[in-house]
């Protein structure tokens, strides 16, 4: 009873089956390609807990003093996972969501920081010695990125002034110039010349000595994760985030205004001062509002990122539109 | 006829896959630290991928003679329009909180938004005239002329992306190269056909 020809019903069934297979296979392939480019981020490795962290109490006179000095801001803290998986750190990747993974194995052992230039006692510190200058304090700062988003970050560290005082700046020290490590083997993003390496930043001396200017070595009570600038970074809360240079290897005290990476890249878009200012727009986008990470909608950006009371006097004689 | 329908169905299913995964990740809170920005960027990226894909159909068909590719063009083009609409709606709704005056103010003031808006506006008449009936009504010649707006939209899309990138222009440049090749093919093809026509006329 064998048919030489496949019955029509069987043929159609088989065809329907094959077609379903084609649809499923192509859809899975498309999905796989989408996933390759849009990976779901994972928790990642945890860094060590900081043993000697000084945390101000939540209430009382010390808490009030901490708030009025700007050391602690009473706003919801951005989750750790967001702070460690949304990073602008071009030395590892220009994709904010890729930095954590690209930096995961960054080796910071035997880290040294050279303090040189116009100082009576210039010196190169081993990281451990440098961190012994002062116990880390918890500082909860707003962080406003020039791209128009912001976070609230509990940093750990001490005022940069404490380090600079150790080397005894001379009267010729008008500016502090900072430099990030250059090592394309450890920082794969440096293989492409997206920016000119090393990343360099600078502050006027009075800005560098301001108590709010923080040399951070930790985050959420733990050692700084690589993607956030391990082992040592700058945090200047009233300036756009790119002023907060990461993975610092050198600080020079100099007489003239130093070159800074972003203003060197596009001087009309990024200035030396880069103070957060809702009235001075970036040439391509507004700076009046910001997207606070974790919130929906946009909130108004504050003058000097909300630190006007502490820092406005530094710029009292300056035209902030010209000196953006 | 039936095979054409099946081929189109495959494209329809595949075009929906990125949207489905985007929604799934959003539902599971896995769009990263800045989900709104992620969704805006991803839908924009999908437009920049689908629009060149729709422009790829004609050259490939001409080079290979694979006529079965033809129905893909409309589906891919409509998907590009669909993702561009999602892109704009997410920007307007979630980033600008449905604030009409602020959105318009931003769109007029920011060159990259002006260029992006031009691209999106170009796609609207194309989507509206994507039916067989519309081709009949307009006539093939006029319809083809109108649908050259797709080239403007593709260029506008790439320029829009290039203008908002801060420093790493590698991706927008890659898209620009692709669009240049696709438009370059059409120019070369048009010049060749004209030359062929003229030599025919002079031969006769």
Q: According to the model, what pLDDT value does residue B1 have? A: 44
Residues of chain A in Cβ contact (below 8 Å) with chain B: 19, 22-23, 26-27, 30-31, 34-35, 38, 40-41, 81-83, 85-86, 90, 94, 96-97, 147, 149, 192, 194-195, 265, 284-286, 291, 293-294, 296-298
Tell me if ipTM is over 0.95: no
Q: According to the model, what pLDDT value does residue B27 have? A: 93
Query: Does position B113 have pLDDT exceeding 70, yes or no?
Result: yes
Residue B74 distance to chain A (closest CA, Å): 19
Q: Judge: B14–A26 Cβ closer than 8 Å, yes or no.
A: yes
Task: Give this prediction's pTM.
Answer: 0.89
Interface mutation vs chain B, best among A284, A291, A295, A300, most B CBs within 10 Å: A284
C-alpha pair distances (Å), A23 with each of A13, A84, A113, B6: 15, 39, 58, 9
| Among the partner residues B14, B42, B164, nearest to A38 by beta-carbon distance | B42
Q: Judge: B34–A195 Cβ closer than 8 Å, yes or no.
A: no
Please check whether residue A148 is in contact with residue A276, taking contact to mean a CB–CB distance below 8 angstroms.
Answer: no
A263-282 pLDDT tens trace: 999 999 999 999 999 999 99
A217-258 pLDDT tens trace: 999 999 999 999 999 999 999 999 999 999 999 999 999 999
If pLDDT is split at 50, 70 and 90, which confidence band does B84 have?
Answer: very high
Percentage above 90 pLDDT, chain A: 82
> For residue A292, what is the nearest residue in chain B, using CA coordinates?
B34
Architecture category of domain B5-203 in CATH: Up-down Bundle (1.20)
B53-67 pLDDT tens trace: 999 999 999 999 888
Residue of A126, A324, A118 whose CA lies nearest to A240? A324
DSSP A146: T
Q: According to the model, what pLDDT value does residue A278 have? A: 97
Query: Average pLDDT in the A4-20 region?
Result: 81
| Among the partner residues A19, A30, A194, nearest to B14 by beta-carbon distance | A30
Longest dimension (CA), chain A: 107
Q: Judge: B13–A86 Cβ closer than 8 Å, yes or no.
A: no
Query: Exposed, middle or buried by CB within 10 Å (0-12, 13-18, 19+), for A209?
Result: middle
Tell me the HSE value of B182 on the side-chain side, using a 13 A CA sphere: 23
Mean pLDDT score of chain B: 92
Residue of B66, B62, B68, B67 whose CA lies nearest to B11? B68
Q: Judge: A194–B168 Cβ closer than 8 Å, yes or no.
A: yes
Residue A32 distance to chain B (closest CA, Å): 10
Percentage above 70 pLDDT, chain A: 97
Query: Does position A51 have pLDDT exceeding 90, yes or no?
Result: no
Q: According to the model, what pLDDT value does residue B198 have? A: 84
Residue B6 distance to chain A (closest CA, Å): 8
Residues of chain B numbered 24-63 and touching chain A (CB < 8 Å): 25, 30, 32-34, 36-38, 42
If pLDDT is split at 50, 70 and 90, which confidence band does A8 have?
Answer: confident
Query: Exposed, middle or buried by CB within 10 Å (0-12, 13-18, 19+), for A154?
Result: buried
User: How are the residues of chain B apportioned to helix, strand and coil, as percentages rounded to the nearest 5?
Assistant: 85, 0, 15
Residue B46 distance to chain A (closest CA, Å): 10
Query: Average pLDDT in the A52-69 region?
Result: 86
Q: Judge: A86–B166 Cβ closer than 8 Å, yes or no.
A: no
Task: Tally A–B CB contacts below 8 A.
Answer: 79
Query: Average pLDDT in the A86-95 region?
Result: 96
> For residue B5, what is the nearest residue in chain A, using CA coordinates?
A19
Please check whether residue A215 is in contact with residue A234, taking contact to mean a CB–CB distance below 8 angstroms.
Answer: yes
Distance CA A317, CA A45 (A): 47
Query: Does position A78 have pLDDT exceeding 50, yes or no?
Result: yes
Q: Which of A46-60, A145-159, B38-52 has the lowest mean pLDDT?
A: A46-60
B204 touches chain A (CB under 8 A): no
């Amino acid at each position: 009873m064998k048919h030489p020809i496949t019955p029509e019903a069987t043929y159609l069934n088989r065809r329907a089956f094959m077609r379903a297979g084609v649809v499923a296979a192509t859809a899975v392939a498309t999905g796989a390609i989408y996933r390759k480019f849009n990976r779901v981020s994972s928790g990642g490795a945890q860094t060590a807990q900081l043993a000697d962290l000084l945390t101000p109490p939540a209430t009382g006179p010390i808490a009030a003093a901490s708030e009025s000095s700007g050391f602690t801001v009473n706003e919801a803290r951005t989750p750790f996972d967001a702070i460690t998986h949304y990073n602008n750190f071009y030395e590892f990747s220009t994709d904010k969501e890729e930095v954590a993974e690209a930096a995961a194995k960054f080796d910071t052992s035997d880290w040294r920081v050279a303090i040189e230039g116009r100082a009576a006692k210039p010196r190169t510190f081993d990281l451990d010695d440098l961190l012994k200058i002062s116990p880390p304090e918890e500082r909860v700062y707003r962080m406003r990125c020039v791209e128009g988003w912001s976070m609230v970050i509990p940093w750990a560290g001490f005022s940069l002034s404490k380090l600079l005082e150790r080397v005894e700046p001379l009267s010729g020290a008008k500016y502090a110039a900072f430099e990030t490590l250059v090592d394309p083997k450890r920082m794969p993003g440096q293989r492409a010349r997206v920016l000119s390496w090393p990343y360099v930043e600078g502050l006027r001396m009075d800005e560098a000595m301001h108590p709010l200017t923080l040399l951070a070595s930790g985050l959420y009570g733990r050692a700084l994760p690589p993607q956030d600038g391990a082992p040592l970074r700058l945090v200047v809360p009233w300036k756009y985030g790119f002023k907060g240079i990461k993975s610092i290897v050198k600080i020079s005290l100099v007489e003239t205004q130093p070159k800074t990476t972003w203003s060197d890249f596009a001087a009309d878009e990024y200035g030396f001062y880069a103070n957060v200012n809702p009235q001075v727009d970036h040439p391509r986008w507004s700076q009046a509002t910001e997207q606070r990470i974790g919130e929906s909608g946009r909130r108004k950006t504050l003058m000097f990122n909300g630190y006007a009371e502490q820092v406005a006097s530094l710029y009292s004689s300056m035209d902030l539109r010209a000196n953006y | 006829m039936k095979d054409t329908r099946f081929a189109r169905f495959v494209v329809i299913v595949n075009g929906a896959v990125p949207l489905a995964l985007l929604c799934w990740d959003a539902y599971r809170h896995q769009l990263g630290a800045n989900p709104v920005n992620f969704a805006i960027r991803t839908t924009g990226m999908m437009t920049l991928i689908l629009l060149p894909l729709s422009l790829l159909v004609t050259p490939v068909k001409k080079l290979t003679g694979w006529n079965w590719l033809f129905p893909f063009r409309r589906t891919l083009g409509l998907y590009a329009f669909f993702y561009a609409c999602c892109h704009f709606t997410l920007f307007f709704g979630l980033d600008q909180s449905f604030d009409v005056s602020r959105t318009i103010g931003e769109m007029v003031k920011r060159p990259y938004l002006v260029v992006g808006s031009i691209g999106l506006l170009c796609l609207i008449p194309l989507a509206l005239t994507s039916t067989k009936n519309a081709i009949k009504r307009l006539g093939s010649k006029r319809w083809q002329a109108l649908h050259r707006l797709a080239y403007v939209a593709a260029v506008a899309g790439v320029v829009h992306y290039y203008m908002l990138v801060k420093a790493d222009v590698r991706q927008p440049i890659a898209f620009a190269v692709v669009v240049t090749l696709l438009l370059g093919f059409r120019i070369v093809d048009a010049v060749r056909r004209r030359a062929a026509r003229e030599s025919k006329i002079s031969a006769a």
